[in-house]
Structure 1
Amino acid sequence: MSNSEKYSEIIVESYIPDKLSGLHGKIHIKPIAGQEPFTEDMHVSCSKVLSQRYPVGTKFKIKAKLTSKEGGKPYLFSHRTWAYEVLI
């Protein structure tokens, strides 16, 4: 099993990107700094609840795995129905 198939608990936060071109919605989720190999420039696919029900800047602990679509840019995936923990 490669690292891309393993799920990890990571801390993410909601934010508003400087550029929204090619993105869906205004508020997005990204990993916080210091969690290599997960970097702050990675997108996170997860429940929309995190970006819709909490203020921008809220931090969450989620279970996610590193993945990509057909060799595209790596991103983190956390199923929309999985539990998450609100940290701040």
Structure 2
Amino acid sequence: MDAAQRENSKRHFHMIIGNIGFLLIGLGVIRVMELLDDRLVQGLLLFGFLGLVTYLRFLEEKIVPKKEVILSCIVSITIFIVLSIIILI
């Protein structure tokens, strides 16, 4: 395995760990929003999380090829929606 392949493997590993972190934080936000009946807290959590995801995706696009970013987004969003539905039921 040469240096370029090791770097790609390392980048993919960190992307996967980062996406798992996003999923866990997002599911936590969904759960807190479900439990709290405070609209202000729900709005702050929602827009704060969306802002964080937007900023980190922007940074990710600077480092990772666009094709990998799009694939990562599609997979993450699909898993997030499925897990959110499971948690809310």
| TM-score, normalized by the shorter chain, greater than 0.5 | no
In our comparison, the structure showing a higher alpha carbon Rg is 2
- Tell which has more relative contact order, 1 or 2 (C-alpha 8 A, sep 6+): 2
Larger strand proportion of the pair:
1
Q: TM-score range by the shorter chain?
A: under 0.3
Compare the two structures and name the one with the higher helix fraction: 2
